[in-house]
Chains A and B, each alone.
Chain A
Amino acid sequence: MKRIGEMKPRLDEQTVALRAAREFFDGAVVNLGYGMPGLCANLIPEGRTVYFQSENGVLGYGSLAADKDQDYELINASDQPVTPLPGMSFFDSAAAFDMIRGGHVDITVLGAYQVSQNGDLANWGRPGRPATGMGGGMDLAAGVKRVIITMLHTTKEGAPRLVKECTYPLTAQRCVSLIITDLAVIEVTVKGLVLKETAPGWTVWEIQNLTEANLIPAAGIKEIEL
């Protein structure tokens, strides 16, 4: 049986990343996770300065490097060659994680397999792949001031990823602040998940139908603006 709304167009990854990057305030220190979050490096809102930190020991790198400028020894933690900027610094892994755990990073954008309605995050282990690890995900989720998740709203099979309780192994409890999916922008609050923005053409009811957790429509709910 097809679920309601299944065939409507959803936001593409670039647009989800663009919406996430709009959360970067002027002067923010930001760490980007693997996959969709990495796209944010090239999508900083105009007129704002953002300092990208990466757990392999760099603060203040620029955009992703074009092919001709790639240097194998100037990379982010997702193995993407990046460009240098004035004021950039290098340090070792221990110092990189002091920065993360110690609350010196303002925002991290991470991917997720599941997020629960109280903000628990599961983003490293999945069935059939017991040897994949969490990398720096647990450290980022526990230490960074604001955890933003970019993810697809459902699995390939159509199952909800926003759930009442995570069934995949946890990264950290109650750590997520904001969730940006290909259907919605959702804030994690003490009352639960507040639906603040919807993808163009999608109704609250349609989005709730693809979500296991309860969504609370915000008073000023609107379509996602970019």
Chain B
Amino acid sequence: MSFSTPEREAAICPASQPPLEIACVGYSYGRRMALETVSFTVAPRSFTVLLGPNGAGKSTLYCLITRLYATQQGTIQIFGYDVNRSSVEALRRLGVVFQPRTLDLDLTVMQNLSYHAALHGISERQAKLRAHLVLERIALTARKHDKVRSLSGGQMRRVEIARALLHEPQLLLLDEPTVGLDIKARADILTHVRSLAMQEGIGVLWATHLIDEVEAHDDVVVLHQGRVLDRGKASNIADRAGATDIRMAFEKLTAESVVSGQ
């Protein structure tokens, strides 16, 4: 079952505009610079990995894209809509899974989904219909009346992804969604999100510090100490860095960055 139709995509997402365009974004906490002239684009139907160690600035960037923080420098556009100036138009096209859990543990799975639907102005009838579809897709229909508190970590993440898709966004952001999960749950979630990009045409930005989640054909943005060190296909980044794979390239790039920073 697909949520996405060409008519719908054309209606809500201008074809000429990329799902996400970040241009020269800078942000500081007081004197500490968290992001420095960060620029990159997420293409439609792409799985883009924002790769960086802890403290690289990934979560800060996600807070800026979702307008939890206001940008201090540069611009962020979602399908051409500036998140600060046209936040309503920008945010309605965006689904997001934050690193910390944002589900209400005391509500059931269905209640969490209904609440999210209401926050996007979706009618109860539509919300129920869509909730059943997304729950079917993540194989959690049988748990829909269970409190979220009773789910495993992997199941909670799947519910969060389902919730992020409920309002049919065309851009999906995930901030380290596999942290703390076992190997199977990690693989399941990764496969599921990759299929969303390929089959549903959703642009995906996947932030992680786990290099084994990157595949050679993925678009990758290497973020370190608030700066983009390189971006492009994982295989191309490896070639440019004179490395055999993205892991070695990442280690070389971050080591060089530390040396040049000193």
| Chain B binds chain A | no
